[in-house]
Amino acid sequence: MRYGEAYPLESTWKAMEHCVELGLTKHIGLSNFNSKQILHIIKNGKIRPAVLQCESHPYMTQEKLIKFCKDEGITFTAYSPLGSRDRPWAKSDDPSLFDDSYLKDIAKAKNTSIANILIRYQVQRGVTVLPKSTHKDRIKSNLEVWHFELSDEEMRHVGSLNRNWRACLPTVRLADGSIVSRDDKHSFWPFKEEF
């Protein structure tokens, strides 16, 4: 099978269900699926997905997808919650959460880091969150989100920063030098749906 051809999602899910039956894993989940694709798995599978892992941060809040997951009893996990700062395909004019004036102000007012505001935002709205760091001190400090709270107004304000901007849209450079999306021609490309 060549890249870009569509191997049926339900066949892959069936193989994952088999792993549960064999006792190789307790739970199975999805990543980068939209709501229609998730419903397809629920309808055609025996085991419901336990979790959906998707990009989320204040510039990509995913309100609708998170509500959909809550209604379906699926745990939502936010990946790239800090905006995936070290992504290789970053462009110089991409927005940066770490330069956001509101996030800077609120971090200063609470005597914490912008990273911790971004992590606390997800925790406080009931989303599991997956920040990454290659530095031991940051891995430790990224856990320090339990000594402060965001008020309802602050939560609303952070959520209002949404601009449906995805950090995680990998690109490739073609032989002619042009840079194009790596995956958007794939028949299962999930991001053409609203959520």
Ligand X SMILES: NC(=O)c1ccc[n+]([C@@H]2O[C@H](COP(=O)([O-])OP(=O)(O)OC[C@H]3O[C@@H](n4cnc5c(N)ncnc54)[C@H](OP(=O)(O)O)[C@@H]3O)[C@@H](O)[C@H]2O)c1
For residues 37 and 1, what is the distance between their CA atoms, to the nearest angstrom?
A: 21
Instruction: Please report whether residue 168 would count as binding ligand X according to CB under 6 A.
Output: yes
8 Å CB contact between 55 and 167:
yes
Instruction: Please report whether residue 79 would count as binding ligand X according to CB under 6 A.
Output: yes
The two tokens of residue 42 are: 């629920």
In 3D space, the residue among 163, 31, 173 whose CA is nearest the CA of residue 88 turns out to be 173
Piece of the chain touching ligand X by CB under 6 A; list 6-14, 39-47, 78-86, 147-155:
78-86
CA dist list (Å): 180 to 48, 63, 83: 35, 28, 20
Binding mask 30-59 for ligand X (x = CB under 6 A): -xx--------------------x------
Measured from the CB atom, the residue of 21 and 169 that comes closer to ligand X is 169
Binding mask 118-157 for ligand X (x = CB under 6 A): ------------xxxxxx--x--xx---------------
Q: Tell me how far the alpha carbon of residue 163 is from its chain's centroid.
A: 15
Instruction: Please report whether residue 83 would count as binding ligand X according to CB under 6 A.
Output: yes
Instruction: Please report whether residue 85 would count as binding ligand X according to CB under 6 A.
Output: yes
Instruction: Please report whether residue 113 would count as binding ligand X according to CB under 6 A.
Output: yes
Measured from the CB atom, the residue of 111 and 178 that comes closer to ligand X is 111
In 3D space, the residue among 56, 44, 41, 181 whose CA is nearest the CA of residue 123 turns out to be 56
For residues 55 and 77, what is the distance between their CA atoms, to the nearest angstrom?
A: 8
Instruction: Please report whether residue 82 would count as binding ligand X according to CB under 6 A.
Output: yes
Instruction: Please report whether residue 80 would count as binding ligand X according to CB under 6 A.
Output: yes
For residues 143 and 42, what is the distance between their CA atoms, to the nearest angstrom?
A: 33
Rounded least distance, CB 132 to ligand X, Å? 4
Rounded least distance, CB 116 to ligand X, Å? 7
Measured from the CB atom, the residue of 92 and 178 that comes closer to ligand X is 92
| HSE-up (13 A, CA, CB side) for residue 124 | 21
As a residue count, the chain comes to 195
Which residues make up the interface to ligand X (CB under 6 A)?
A: 31-32, 53, 79-86, 113, 115, 130-135, 138, 141-142, 168
